[in-house]
Amino acid sequence: MTTTRDEPESLLLVLHGARGDLAARMVLPSMYLLYRRALLPDEWRIIGTGRAEMTDDEFIDHVHDALEKYSDEPLDSGWHDFAARLAYTTEVTEDAPWEQEQAIGDQTNKGALLVHYLAVPPSAFAPITRALAKHDLLTDARVVYEKPFGTSPESFTELDALVHEHLDEEQVFRIDHFLAKEGTQNLHVLRFANELFAHSWNRKHVAEVQIDVPETLDVAQRAEFYDATGASLDMLVTHLFQVASEVALETPDSLDVDALVAAREEVFRSFRELDPTDDVVLGQFTGYTDIDGVDDDSTTDTYVAARLWIDNERWQDVPFVLRTGKMLAGAAQRVTLVLRAPRGPMAGESTVRPNAISVSISGDGEIELSTTVKRPGPELELASGIARLSLDDVDPGASLPPYASAIHDVLDGDRRAFTTSATLTEAWRAFAPLLGPGRPAPEPYEPGSWGPAAADRLVGDEGWWVRGDGDTPHGD
The active-site residue out of 62, 116, 239, 474 is 239
In DSSP notation, 288-304 reads GGGSTTS-TT----SEE
116 among the known binding-site residues?
Answer: no
Give me the residues paired with residue 116 across strands: 14, 143
374 among the known binding-site residues?
Answer: no
- Angle between the N-to-C axes of helices 241-248 and 257-269, in degrees from 0 to 180, rounded to the nearest 10: 110
In DSSP notation, 55-109 reads -HHHHHHHHHHHHHHH--S--STHHHHHHTTEEEEEPP-SSS--TTHHHHHHHHH
Three-state SS string over 448-469 comes to CECCCHHHHHHCCCCCCCCCCC
In DSSP notation, 147-208 reads SPS-SSHHHHHHHHHHHHHHS-GGGEEEE-GGGGSHHHHHHHHHHHT-HHHHTTSSTTTEEE
110 among the known binding-site residues?
Answer: no
205 among the known binding-site residues?
Answer: no
> Could you give the CA distance from residue 232 to residue 283 in angstroms, rounded to a whole number?
10
Note whether 60 and 19 are within 8 A (CB): no
177 among the known binding-site residues?
Answer: yes
64 flagged as catalytic: no
Length in residues, the chain = 476
For 185-221, letters b (16+ CB in 10 Å) and e give bbbbebbbeeeebeeebeeebbbbbbbbbbbeebbee
69 among the known binding-site residues?
Answer: no
Residue 30 exposure: Cα atoms within 13 Å on the Cβ side: 24
199 among the known binding-site residues?
Answer: no
215 among the known binding-site residues?
Answer: yes
> Could you give the CA distance from residue 331 to residue 144 in angstroms, rounded to a whole number?
29
164 among the known binding-site residues?
Answer: no
Q: What are the backbone dihedrals phi and psi of residue 143, each rounded to the nearest 5 degrees, phi first?
A: -125, 125
First to last CA, the chain: 28
Return binding residues: 51, 91-92, 147, 177, 181, 215, 234, 326
Positions marked active-site: 239
Please give the annotated binding residues for NADP(+), written as ranges. 51, 91-92, 147
Summarize the annotated binding site for substrate as residue ranges: 177, 181, 215, 234, 326
